[in-house]
Amino acid sequence: MSGVYGKVTPEVVAELRQKIGDRNVVYEDRDALENYACDTAGVIFAHNPDAVVKPENAEQVSAVMETASRYRVPVTPRGAGSGLAGAAIPVKGGIVLSIEKMNRILEIDPVNRVAVVEPGVVTNDLCKAAAEKGFLYAGYPMSTETSFIGGNVGTNAGGGKVIRYGSTRRHVLGLEVVLPSGAVVQLGGKFRKDTWGYSLLQLMVGSEGTLGVITKVIVNLEPLPGRTVNLLAAYPDLDTMVSTVAKVVQSGTRVISCEFFDRFATKVTTDYVGTPLPYQDRTEAYLLIQIEGNNDDEIEAAYEKVGKICEAQGAFEVFVAESRIDSQMIWNVRQNLAEGMRAYDPYCSLSGDVVVPLSAVPSMIKTINRLAEKWRVPVGNCGHIADGNIHPLAAKPDGMPPEEWGEYAEQFFHEMIEEAVKLGGVGSGEHGVGFLKLPTLLSTKTPEERRIHRAIKLAFDPLEIMNPGKLVQGE
């Protein structure tokens, strides 16, 4: 292919409007188009689309893709825009295909223990609907109240409960997908295992809109958990805190979540939410542990066991949240760490997350802090520590112009990711690659791996119109 894309012309727009309706096409409205120019990575990475389409069903998505394919116009699928690596940013212009109107929960099936949803369903809405029927949707990320299910699938989103339930990939049983040509394929279904050829279903999970447009999702539902209790352990330093994690996970208790956040991230977030945490004045790192039990006696035995482990490993205090208010207070801080850092610095970059083996977490945190000093970048650390998934929240150095910060931050993250790879890890556990991490991804893959990735891309998308500039090396 030549690498030259077609333009969104009045002729193309007229065809799109005829196929999916005037109300579902945005064109030549600069203010409206700017709303789709960036994601949570920030406005410094914005690229305006030439048009935005908002199909209401798979048939309309198919019609859009048929037109785009015929004119070779690039298409960027978009969910809620809550991503952090620029996957929903139309770096080549063209069409943004927003799934916001495809937002129905089609079925909660108690017999097969699945939910069938459209991709624009807000994750928390699915969680609530499942809970009303006595089930848990466990594949949700920390952005549960804003993210869409389709975006979660596209990035293989993780979150605070991965240690118990796994990431989104584990919960996706079936997909309806519109290919770049406009063809519609059904992958997987209401079953939990198969040995029936290559898994195209699993290829779609985490593909960030580069292979097709997801129009329906079948997800696994779990039984609602029993009683839970949250423990907040305060530590004098990060090394002491990290030493606790493996022992807690191996303790035989049912650990649902195991999160950490350091002093700096805690300070700016508690200032933001207006709620201090216990022992904050003398804590360098917190460990937030959620455990499950079937009854009061089991819960009490579990939290006493875990509390003793924390104290034996150096925690100077272990706070047991015995009320819903206490639990909400603690989780409110954890869930607002990103917002707290953005309140501290509107230009705070959240795009870099790394995953390393649990044994390498102490080395990785030390490396992040060393690089933060080298690059003069204020960093608050947090993450899903039992998964080895660390989220450095990087603030802009004082005096640096915002227009320089985006590239500077990505250079910082590039060096950080290289160190994570040396420790046996990878450059993202859940934020994805998008276009911000693409150069780093390519630098860590062998030529043979890059060849296979590109061959897969071309098998799905020979014209390379699906989310170009993302995840896979282009022309």
Q: Where are the beta strands (DSSP E) in 23-84?
A: 25-27, 51-53, 75-78
pLDDT at 4 over 90: no
Domain boundary residue, one of 61, 77, 101: 101
**What DSSP designation does 464 have?**
-
Q: 237 and 204 share a domain?
A: no
Whether 97 and 120 share a structural domain: no
Q: Please tell me whether residues 90 and 130 are part of one structural domain.
A: no
**CATH code for position 399:** 3.30.70.2740
- DSSP per position, 376-438: T--EEEEEEGGGTEEEEEEPPPTT--HHHHHHHHHHHHHHHHHHHHHTT-BS-SSS--TTTSH
Q: How far is CA 134 from the centre of its chain?
A: 26
- Segment 43-67, tens digit of pLDDT: 788 899 999 999 999 999 999 999 9
Is 463 contained in some domain? no
User: In this structure, what CATH number is given to the domain that contains residue 67?
Assistant: 3.30.43.10
* HEC-encoded secondary structure of 234-277: EECCHHHHHHHHHHHHCCCCEEEEEEEEEHHHHHHHHHHHCCCC
Reported as a pLDDT band with limits 50, 70 and 90, residue 199 is very high
**Does residue 2 surpass a pLDDT of 70?**
no
Strand segments (E) across 284-336: 285-293, 317-321
Choosing from 75, 101, 127, the residue where a domain stops is: 101
* Phi–psi pair at 72, nearest 5 degrees: 50, 50
* CATH number, domain with residue 183: 3.30.465.10
113 with 90, same domain: the answer is: no
Q: Return d(Cα 266, Cα 260) in angstroms, integer.
A: 10
C-alpha 52/C-alpha 141 separation (Å) is 27
Q: Residue 169 domain-assigned?
A: yes
Q: How many domains does the chain contain in total?
A: 4
Which residue, chain included where needed, has tokens 């996957």?
87
pLDDT value for 3: 64
Q: Are residues 90 and 112 in the same domain?
A: no
Q: Are residues 183 and 219 in the same domain?
A: yes
Looking at residue 287, what is its pLDDT? Answer: 97
- Please indicate, yes or no, if residue 451 is contained in any of the structural domains: no
393 within some domain: yes
Residues 165, 208: one domain? yes
Regarding whether 233 and 218 lie in a shared domain, the answer is no
Give the contacts of 293 (CB within 8 A, at least 6 positions apart). Answer: 226, 227, 228, 229, 254, 299, 300, 301, 302
Looking at the chain, the whole-number percentage of residues with pLDDT higher than 90 is 84
pLDDT at residue 475 above 60? no
Asked if the structure places residue 460 within a domain, the reply is no
Percentages (nearest 5) of helix, strand, coil residues in the chain: 40, 20, 40
What number is the average pLDDT over the span 106-133?
A: 97
| 41-45, 244-248, 302-306, range with the lowest pLDDT | 41-45
Q: Judge whether 278 lies within some domain.
A: yes
The residue segments making up the domain with residue 40 are 10-101
Out of 223, 240, 260, a domain closes at 223
Per-residue tokens: 198: 């290559």
241 and 195 fall within a common domain: no
- Within-domain flag for 466: no
Q: What is the pLDDT of residue 1?
A: 45
Residue 238 CA to residue 260 CA, distance in Å, equals 9
Q: What is the pTM of this model?
A: 0.93
Give the sign of the dihedral formed by CA 94, CA 78, CA 41, CA 36.
Answer: positive
pLDDT in tens, 391-421: 999 999 999 999 899 999 999 999 999 999 9
Rounded to the nearest 10 degrees, the angle between the axes of helix 238-249 and helix 296-312 is 140
- Mean pLDDT over 133-151 rounds to 87
Mean pLDDT of 229-253: 91
pLDDT in tens, 352-369: 899 999 989 989 999 999
232 with 183, same domain? no
Q: What is the mean pLDDT of residues 216-235?
A: 94
- In a shared domain, residues 15 and 42: yes
Question: Residue 167: inside a domain, yes or no?
Answer: yes
Query: Is residue 158 domain-shared with residue 246, that is, in the same domain?
Result: no
Q: Is the pLDDT of residue 389 over 50?
A: yes
The pairing of strands 227-235 and 285-293 is antiparallel
